[in-house]
Amino acid sequence: MLNIVVCIKQVPMVTELPWDEKSGTLRRDLAAGMMNPACKHAVEAALQIKETQGASITVMTMGPPAAEEVLREALAMGADRGVLICDRMLAGADTYATSFILASAIRKKCPSCDLILCGAYTSDSETAQVGPQLAEELNLPAAAYAENIEVNSRTLRVRRLVDHFRETLEMELPALVTVSMERYQPRYASFSGLDRAFTRAGISVLNAEKLGIASADLAGQGSRIRVRNVFVRKAQKENMMITGAAVRAANEFLDRYEGKIGAAIGKSIEAKK
Amino acid sequence: MMNKQKSIWVFGDYRNYYQNRVTLQLLSRAVDLSRTLKAEVCAVLFGHDIEEWIMEYTAHGADRVLAIDHPSLTSYSTENYLALIEKLARERDPDIILIGATDFGREFAPRLAKRLQTGLSADCVGLDITSEGLLVQVAPSFGGNMLAEIVTERHRPQMATVRPGTFKEIPHNNERTAIVERLPLPADLPASRVRLVEYERAVQREHTIENATVIVCGGRGMGNKNNFKKLDELAGLLGGDVGATRPVVYAGWAGHDSLVGQAGKHIKPKILFSFGISGAIQHTAGLGEADFIVAINKNPQATMMKMADVAIVADSGDLLRHLIRELKKRIRE
Mean pLDDT of chain B: 92
Of B120, B271, B333, the CB nearest to A267: B333
Chain A residues whose CB is inside 8 A of the B314 CB are 243-244, 246, 249
- Which pLDDT tens digit goes with each residue over A127-146? 899 999 999 999 999 999 99
B149 beta partners: A229, B138
Find, in chain B, the residue whose alpha carbon is nearest to that of A247: B322
Chain A residues whose CB is inside 8 A of the B194 CB are 141-143, 169-171
B1 pLDDT tier (thresholds 50, 70, 90): very low
Q: How far apart are the first and last CA of chain B?
A: 70
A195 pLDDT tier (thresholds 50, 70, 90): confident
In angstroms, what is the C-alpha Rg of chain B?
A: 24
* CATH number for position B177: 3.40.50.620
CB of B156 less than 8 A from some CB of A = no
* Residue B144 predicted with pLDDT over 80: no
Same domain, B270 and B318: yes
Residue B1 lies in a domain: no
Residue B175 distance to chain A (closest CA, Å) = 32
- Which pLDDT tens digit goes with each residue over B49-58? 999 999 999 9
CB of B79 less than 8 A from some CB of A = yes
Same domain, B93 and B236: no
Same domain, B161 and B299: no
* Residue B93 predicted with pLDDT over 80: yes
Of B140, B279, B294, the CB nearest to A15: B279
Same domain, B147 and B260: no
B205 pLDDT tier (thresholds 50, 70, 90): low
Average pLDDT score over residue span B84-96:
98
Find, in chain A, the residue whose alpha carbon is nearest to that of B298: A243
Residue B274 distance to chain A (closest CA, Å) = 14
- Which pLDDT tens digit goes with each residue over A47-69? 999 999 999 999 999 999 999 99
Residues 6+ apart with CB under 8 A from A174: A113, A114, A115, A116, A138, A140
What ipTM did this prediction achieve? 0.85
pLDDT at B285: 78
Same domain, B142 and B285: no
**Domain ranges (residues) in chain A:** 2-221, 238-273
B207 pLDDT tier (thresholds 50, 70, 90): low
Rounded percentage of chain B residues whose pLDDT exceeds 70? 96
- Which pLDDT tens digit goes with each residue over B264-276? 788 889 999 999 9
Average pLDDT score over residue span B184-192:
93
Residues 6+ apart with CB under 8 A from B155: A224, B117, B118, B119
* Residue B89 predicted with pLDDT over 80: yes
Chain A residues whose CB is inside 8 A of the B78 CB are 142
CB A112 within 8 A of CB A128: no
- Which pLDDT tens digit goes with each residue over B104-136? 999 999 999 999 999 999 999 899 999 999 999
pLDDT at B142: 65
CB B82 within 8 A of CB B111: yes
CB of B141 less than 8 A from some CB of A = yes
Segment (H or E) for A20: strand A19-20
Write the DSSP string, B61-120.
T-SEEEEEE-GGGSS--HHHHHHHHHHHHHHH--SEEEEE-SHHHHHHHHHHHHHTT--E
pLDDT at B268: 86
Contact at CB, B123 and A127, closer than 8 angstroms: yes
CB of B131 less than 8 A from some CB of A = no
Residue B192 lies in a domain: no
Mean pLDDT of chain A: 88
- Which pLDDT tens digit goes with each residue over B57-68? 999 999 999 999
Find, in chain B, the residue whose alpha carbon is nearest to that of A183: B263
CB atoms closer than 10 angstroms to residue A217: 16
* Residue A7 predicted with pLDDT over 90: yes
- Which pLDDT tens digit goes with each residue over B172-181? 999 999 999 9
List A residues 236-265 in contact with B (Cβ-Cβ < 8 A): 237-244, 246-247, 249-251, 253-254, 256-258, 260-261, 264-265
Same domain, B169 and B218: no
CB of A133 less than 8 A from some CB of B = yes
Residue B23 lies in a domain: yes
Residues 6+ apart with CB under 8 A from B247: B219, B220
Contact at CB, B147 and A231, closer than 8 angstroms: yes
Residues 6+ apart with CB under 8 A from A269: A254, A258, A259, A261, A262, B327, B330, B331, B332
* Residue B2 predicted with pLDDT over 80: no
Residue B311 lies in a domain: yes
Distance of alpha carbon A120 from alpha carbon A176, whole angstroms: 11
Chain B residues whose CB is inside 8 A of the A94 CB are 119
* CATH number for position B306: 3.40.50.1220
* Residue A233 predicted with pLDDT over 70: no
Same domain, B114 and B148: yes
Same domain, B168 and B250: no
pLDDT at A137: 97
Same domain, B15 and B157: yes
* Residue B203 predicted with pLDDT over 60: yes
Contact at CB, A157 and B197, closer than 8 angstroms: yes
pLDDT at A234: 55
Residue after which a domain boundary falls, among B165, B183, B201:
B183
- Element counts in chain B: helices (H) and strands (E): 9, 17
Of B107, B270, B322, the CB nearest to A132: B107
Same domain, B161 and B225: no
Chains A, B: CB pairs < 8 Å: 265
CB atoms closer than 10 angstroms to residue A195: 12
Fold of A2-221: Rossmann fold (3.40.50)
Q: Show the domain range for B83.
A: 6-183
Distance of alpha carbon A191 from alpha carbon B324, whole angstroms: 44
Residue B239 lies in a domain: yes
What number of residues does chain B have? 333
CB B252 within 8 A of CB B261: no
Residue B221 distance to chain A (closest CA, Å) = 15
pLDDT at A16: 46
Query: Who has greater pLDDT, B243 or A219?
Result: B243
Residue B50 lies in a domain: yes
CB of B287 less than 8 A from some CB of A = no
Residue B226 lies in a domain: yes
CB B73 within 8 A of CB B185: yes
Distance of alpha carbon A80 from alpha carbon A5, whole angstroms: 10
Same domain, B235 and B275: yes
Residue B196 lies in a domain: no
Q: How far apart are the first and last CA of chain A?
A: 77
Chain A residues whose CB is inside 8 A of the B315 CB are 246
Residue after which a domain boundary falls, among B131, B166, B183:
B183
Distance of alpha carbon B32 from alpha carbon B34, whole angstroms: 5
Residues 6+ apart with CB under 8 A from B173: B59, B60
Distance of alpha carbon A10 from alpha carbon A28, whole angstroms: 10
Residue A185 distance to chain B (closest CA, Å) = 10
Rounded percentage of chain A residues whose pLDDT exceeds 70? 90
Find, in chain A, the residue whose alpha carbon is nearest to that of B305: A241
Average pLDDT score over residue span A70-95:
93
Same domain, B154 and B17: yes
B150 beta partners: A227, B137
Find, in chain A, the residue whose alpha carbon is nearest to that of B272: A261
Report CA torsion sign: B321, B327, B330, B333. negative
* Residue B328 predicted with pLDDT over 80: yes
Chain B residues whose CB is inside 8 A of the A218 CB are none
Distance of alpha carbon A52 from alpha carbon A137, whole angstroms: 29
- Tell me whether strands B310-313 and B292-297 are parallel, antiparallel or unpaired: parallel
CB of A32 less than 8 A from some CB of B = no
